[in-house]
Amino acid sequence: MTGEQLQKLACFPLEPNHLQACQDLDQRSLGGLWNQEQWHSELAEERRPGIGLWCEGALVAMASGWLVVDELHITVVAVDPLQRRQGLGRQVLQALLSHGQRLGAERATLEVATSNTAAVALYRDLGFRDAGIRRGYYRNGDDALIQWLRLPPVNDAQQGCG
């Protein structure tokens, strides 16, 4: 992506009509975490906020979560494999956290495979702190790292999109 394209990235909340784009990016980035029905629920339910970054009509990054009272449980963060290490993961996750704060989240949490060094580094970079390990949590036997982030009061929140 050129510098000019990076400047022109569009940031929007994910909606039901983005289903195909989300499924395609899920397939390219995560090997198909969710099927069509699961993505449909993810995009349709009000308590499941999501954010997408778009470049010239193509979805290049997305992040989504489930809001449980005042906790935002991050479920997906994915960047197009051809567009990584340009700050898109950081940008889309920050936008989701800001969006979650405006919906009442005071904390964010997630589980990530300890072997996923890129994601663990991204989350630590954004201030997530380790809170425990679930041994053998994933199907391939990988451990899951549990992380938490306390979100600042909403007035101090960075502006996200949406």
> Phi/psi of residue 13, each to 5°?
-60, 145
Asked if 10 interacts with ligand COA (CB under 6 A), we say no
Q: Please tell me what DSSP assigns to residue 97.
A: H
One residue of 21, 43, 60, 119 binding ligand COA per CB under 6 A = 119
134-149 residues labelled b (16+ CB within 10 A) or e (exposed):
eeeeeeeebebbbbeb
Q: Does 78 bind ligand COA (CB under 6 A)?
A: yes
User: Which one among 6, 13, 66, 86 touches ligand COA, defined by CB under 6 A?
Assistant: 86
To the nearest whole angstrom, how small is the minimum distance from the Cβ of residue 82 to ligand COA? Answer: 11
Any catalytic annotation for residue 111?
A: yes
Smallest gap from Cβ 155 to ligand COA, in A, equals 26
List phi, psi (to 5°) of 113: -65, 135
- Rounded-to-integer distance, Cα 22 and Cα 15, Å: 10
**Which of these is catalytic: 106, 111, 137, 138?**
111
What does the binding site for ligand COA look like in residue numbers (CB under 6 A)? 29-30, 76-79, 84-90, 112, 116-119, 121-122, 125
